[in-house]
Structures are given as structure tokens and as C-alpha cells.
Structure 1
């Protein structure tokens, strides 16, 4: 099965499974919940693995060790400029899937703890990790 197809098929299941259990506070809490779960990683790993990958990515990229910075990076859309913070969850998940595909197409990948991830997926893991450390 193609990675993209796998992502599309599992997106709905992942959002339905994990979003109710995520919590964070602050003005951007809703946005963090929409952005912080990398679809592919969440379907095949436990949250502890996602946290480990996110922490490792932050160790490799200390300049991105902030939810605000990660959110800003995730909301950059190479085609249209930036993505609105008010975008609904379903559209945002679709846009993140497109960003993941574009990252792979453009060679924007990173190796974190043995995983070859798109930069977008790695940032989502990092955001998830930071959101869980605040609980």
C-alpha cells in the first residue's frame, strides 16, 4: 500500500482515537490539538514512541523547541503562503498530509531514532511531545 493511501485511510481513525485524549492549555490549545499528531506515526506507534521521536527531533533542532515556533512552521504552506489558524480540523489534516507528501517529493526528510520522516511529521511529533510535557 502506498504511504499516501495509508495516511488518507487512517486519518479519520487516528483523529477519532487520539484527539479526545489530548489536552493542553493556553490560547493556542485548540490549534495544538489539531496539529500535533502525525497521522502515520500515530497509527503504528504508541504515544510514548511519538514523544521519544519528538524529543529527539527537538534535541537535533533546538531552535524549534517551542510550540509557537513549531506551529508557525507547520502552518507554512509552500503553495499558498500560510495556513489560517482558524482552519477546521479536517481541512488541516488534509493540508498536513499534503505537506508530508511534498516534503518527501522535495527531499525534506529527517532521520530521527531510526525513522525516516518528513520534516512536517517530525515537527508534529515534536509539538505532540511538548504538548504532553505540559500536562
Structure 2
């Protein structure tokens, strides 16, 4: 009887640890996609992106990490590649519709600015 109980507890612990590893891997990958505006990160370093994010949060009332995430993942798939493609197309759509903002001399789409703010908040935690 003791051996059976030990095996059940061990299997449960293994199952729980696998779920935890999967969750944190998925969560960090999504955070990485949300934190880096693809085109902007090719010409700006991390410090500049964080500075843009801080300034954007001061210019707007968008300074809640959950709210920013919600805005960015609307109508997007939760798989990293789908999310990456969706964010890139949202940036293009923002420029086409004039949904832009001037931050520290940069004319950015709202989506890019939100990604910088998300990065800034992720770094702060």
C-alpha cells in the first residue's frame, strides 16, 4: 500500500512540474513577442526601446501591463508566430489609418509604442 501511494504522489508531482515548465516557457515566449516591436528593434537598442516605453506611458494613461497586453492580443492568435504576424500587421494598419504617436522624436504606430511600454514594465518587474 505504501509503494502504491508513493507512485501516485510521484506521478502527480511529475505531472504538475511538467505543466509548470510548459506554462512558464509559453508565458515567457509570449512576453518576448509582445515586448519587441520587430521593425523598431532593428534600429533601436533595448535602452532606447525602454525609454520610448517610459515616455509613452507618461503621454498616455496606458500604464497597466494587463491592459496593454489585452490591447495588443486582440484579434490575435496566442501561438507566438500568429501573434508576431498579427502585431506586425497591426503596425502596418496603424500607419495606414494614422493611428500614430510622436514619442521622443519618433513617429510610431500605437502598437509599437505599446510594445515599448510593455517592455519597459517587464523590465521594471
The partner residue of 1:69 within 67, 70, 86 is 67
TM-score under structure 1 normalisation?
A: 0.69
Larger Rg: 2
Which residues in structure 2 correspond to 1:1-135 (within 5 Å)?
28-62=27-61, 64-76=62-74, 82-84=75-77, 87-134=78-125
Structure 2 alignment gaps of length 5 or more = 1-23
Identify unmatched segments of 5+ residues in structure 1. 1-24, 77-81
Alpha-carbon distance in 2 for matches of 1:89, 1:73: 16
- Say which SS state the counterpart of residue 111 (structure 1) adopts: strand
For 1:34 and 1:45, how far apart are their aligned partners in 2? 16
Q: TM-score, normalised by structure 2?
A: 0.74
Instruction: State the Cα RMSD in Å.
Output: 1.7
